[in-house]
Chains A and B, each alone.
Chain A
Amino acid sequence: MPNIVVLVKQVPDTYSERRLSDADHTLDRESADAVLDEINERAVEEALLLKEAHGGEVTVLSVGPDRATEAIRKALSMGADKAVHVSDPALHGSCLLQTTRVLAAAIGRVDGVDLVVAGNEATDGRGGAVPAMLAEALGYPQLTHARKVTLDGDTVTVVRETDTGLTHLRATLPAVVSVGEKINEPRYPSFKGIMAAKKKPVETLTVADLGIDAAEVGLASASTTVLEATPKPPRAAGQRVEDGGDGGQKIAEYLIGQKLV
């Protein structure tokens, strides 16, 4: 029976405008609507499907500000069993490396983890690397960008889908899996699920609880630093014409003028 940890993250809604804060160039999390990253819902769904097929337990793990509780509640109301929320002001401005180490330490606290499931790419940072980095930090094999996940005893097989095509992967548990857009259709939480989620345990931890010195995380000790951030001047509108039956010709003339054809 697999013990599954699923990572969730609260991100700014991609349909609203996102900004960087003026003070320290970190994401201005107040200025945008936050939602549970779509891909995280698929990760939760896949963890629940594996649990339904093989038994075991699903633990939600989130590292982020207090607002992340909404994402955690959503995952619990979908059917996850319990949650670990690492929330600490010291984490503000953490780099990918620090985030990876915090996630790895938190996973280390969950007993007998067999599988870590994550979305393949958060829509905000777009690093696309955290699941692989986590596998490196944990010393687990990575089976990333999955469109199909199969468990058989202590063997996990995955069909990986990227721009280059499909790759069939196999590894031994414990392992890190990241799921892609096509993996499944996440369920909607039922009323019963929403009510049940309120009683599910959520453990809130600080970085000190994970045995990490607060000075090792956050903006001041990050492995990368932003030197400057400049909002791009909005693109100005160019020419616009009504199609009078020669719209295609007009575009062709424009492209020829710009030496684009």
Chain B
Amino acid sequence: MSEVLVLVDEIDGEAKKVTFELLTAARELGEPSAVVVAAPGTAARLKDSLAAYGAAKVYVAESDDVPNYLVTPKVDVLAALVGAAAPAAVLVPATAEGKEIAGRLAVRTDSGLLVEAVGVATEDGAVVGTQSIFGGAFTVKAKATRGTPIVTVRPGGVDAVEAAGAAVEETVEVPAADAARATAVTGREPVVGGDRPELTEASIVVSGGRGVGSAEKFEVVEKLADVLGAAVGASRAAVDSGYYPAQFQVGQTGKTVSPQLYVALGISGAIQHRAGMQTSKTIVAVNKDAEAPIFEIADFGVVGDLFAVAPQLTDEVAKRKG
């Protein structure tokens, strides 16, 4: 069975959930080989979790250069592996950095790039990526026509399933950076995310819209999110009104999320917003306007005041969770 390269997304030696989703997806296509491109000592900490999700092999490409340069060390390592291992496909998380890595790799190896896949499969001997485009209005199946298919996979697009893998380590050299063409990283200020899950990785998202009315009142959204263990999102109207920071915006010009449960509070449901959340498995909406378009796509809707309904729901969930 041919190898499928999976670029590991990690923070401080801990794999992100999307890594396990990619390893799961890779098993549809062949034998997953996890590729760790990071500072020395990282792969050793990742090995057990990569093995738990079916990595047959772990390519260890470690160098102090990796954190000091943007994107290109990962492209260099993947390009070398594409040449050496002739994989069936390369899977990369569809994060800001992952999309750039995949794009550069496609240019360098003259390969077809399938973006933001929510599933992969082998059909008639070809790697086929399923994409959900225009905010879920169309489902598209596409394949690469040359080179090695490079696929960016949307976080949350595939459910991670455990499977034992041997995780046999193989050391790979990180090519030296070309100073004229590389971008030096001179400092980092990681997001201090608090205890809430990341928006695109969360299984539950609770979002507030214009109906929340002010930045202070967003507390009612946050309280419900916290009792559900959810991420907090906001509609564009709420962000534009200054109620909540832009990085939490869900919609066509913000994040696309597809959690198990999406709770929309005081969101009317313009196309702009629906495009970012309508692939959610279950949608619950609270809005005082019975005509709000969000109700057209909600599995369960309550016409009422969110400031009465949401706190009551928060209390009920808290009671249940004891």
Contact = CB atoms under 8 A, between A and B. Distances in A.
Interface of A: 14-20, 25, 38, 95-97, 100, 123, 125-133, 135-137, 139-145, 157, 160, 162-172, 175, 181-182, 222-232, 234-235, 237-243, 245-252, 254-256, 258, 260-261
Interface in B1-17: 11
Nearest to B191: A165
Contact of B104 (A136, A162, A243, A246): A136
Question: Which has the most chain B C-beta neighbours within 10 Å: A38, A136, A242?
Answer: A136
A139 B181 contact: yes
A248 B314 CA distance: 8
B297 A254 contact: no
B183 A171 contact: yes
B198 A129 contact: no
B89 to A, nearest CB: 13
Given A136-B75, A139-B181, A165-B191, 18 more contacts: A97-B110, A132-B104, A143-B70, A144-B100, A169-B183, A181-B253, A224-B112, A227-B141, A227-B143, A235-B278, A238-B298, A238-B299, A239-B299, A248-B313, A251-B286, A254-B300, A260-B204, A260-B260
B194 to A, nearest CB: 13
A97 B191 contact: no
B161 interface: no
A249 B316 contact: yes
A217 to B, nearest CB: 14
Interface of B: 11, 70-71, 75, 94-97, 99-104, 106-108, 110-116, 123, 128, 132-134, 136-147, 152, 179-191, 198-200, 204, 228, 246-247, 252-253, 256, 260-261, 270-272, 275, 278, 282-284, 286, 290, 295-305, 308-317, 320-321
Chain B interface helix/strand/loop/mixed: mixed
B301 A238 contact: yes
A135 B183 CA distance: 11
A250 B302 contact: yes
A169 B69 CA distance: 9
B257 to A, nearest CB: 12
Contacts of A15: 270-272
B304 A97 contact: no
Contact of B139 (A126, A137, A144, A232): A232
Nearest to B271: A15
A129 B71 CA distance: 12
A20 B138 contact: yes
A160 B70 CA distance: 10
Given A140-B181, A166-B189, A133 B297 contact: no
Q: Which 9 A-B pairs have the closest CB atoms?
A: A243-B304, A248-B312, A129-B103, A252-B316, A132-B100, A248-B313, A168-B187, A238-B299, A223-B112
A172 B180 contact: yes
Nearest to B317: A261
Nearest to A253: B316
Nearest to B227: A261
Nearest to A128: B99
Nearest to B145: A225
A14 B272 contact: yes
A168 B188 contact: yes
A238 B102 CA distance: 39
Nearest to A246: B312
A18 B133 CA distance: 10
Given A129-B100, A226-B140, A261-B320, A248 B298 contact: no
Nearest to A257: B300
Contacts of A232: 132, 136-139
Contacts of B143: 224-225, 227
Contacts of B103: 96, 100, 127, 129-130, 132-133, 136
B319 to A, nearest CB: 9
A243 B272 contact: no
A165 B247 CA distance: 10
B138 A162 contact: no
A96 B106 contact: yes
A25 B140 contact: yes
A19 B315 CA distance: 43
Nearest to B106: A97
Q: Which of B146, B147, B183 counts the most A-chain CB atoms under 10 A from its CB?
A: B183
